Structure 1
Amino acid sequence: MSVTLPPPIQTFFAATNTEDRAAFLSAFTPDGTIDDWGRDFHGHDALGHWNDTENIGTHTRFEVTAITSPTPNTHVVTAMVTGGGFNGPSHFTFTLAGSQITRMTITA
């Protein structure tokens, strides 16, 4: 299944799959937030740490299977996750501001 994603969300998934830390961080605003199952990481330093220990650092790979867009700036992406950490389906809710992600929330 081919899923078309807004550019900053595509950048997030592609950067993770190719282990490109700089591209990963560029997808987020400087004050961006990741809510990983209730644990908040705020700002590029915290996002970089999360990425290094729980995303690219565990060789995570995503296969996007669906997207819905309840509002123009909110997108819910379903993806299969594999790698050295969590494995299984997850939902990622993205809030965008212009060409970057301001918030990403990860849930089951």
Structure 2
Amino acid sequence: MSNTLPEPVARLIAAANAGDTEAFLATFAADGSVNDWGRTFTGHDAIRAWSDSEFIGVGVTLEVTAEITTREHTTITATVGGQGFNGQSHFSFTVSDGLVADMAITA
């Protein structure tokens, strides 16, 4: 991963790779959201439940292979590993006030 990712996004990826749910959640705003292929989870409790069953809870790993940041928006391409989905995905993030306001996962 390069050093050009916004700090909250870099912390989110590092937390996911470390399997650290608390650090992962700490990167999100209180009303932050995750959109996982059209399913939206808003707030820390909903994001935790999603992550426990489909992200950190299945040992996700993210190897960033490409990134683009424009102002508060960042999009990465990552090779996803773990016991859940494996393969390439795109993740887009909106950062506001030093926290992730939303993360969307698409093909």
TM-score range, shorter chain: over 0.9
Size of the aligned set, in residue pairs, is 106
The aligned residue for residue 53 of structure 1 is: 53
Runs of 4+ in 1 over 4 A off after TM superposition: none
Separation (CA, whole Å) in 2 of partners of 1:85 and 1:47: 16
The aligned residue for residue 64 of structure 1 is: 64
- For structure 2, the 5+ residue unaligned runs are none
**Cα shift at 1:98:** 1.9
**Cα shift at 1:3:** 1.9
Using the size of structure 2 for normalisation, the TM-score is: 0.95
**Cα shift at 1:24:** 0.3
Using the size of structure 1 for normalisation, the TM-score is: 0.95
CA displacement 1:50-88 (0-9 Å, x = unmatched): 11111110001010111112x300010110000100000
Code of the aligned partner of 1:80: T
- For structure 1, the 5+ residue unaligned runs are none
Percentage of matched positions with identical amino acids: 46
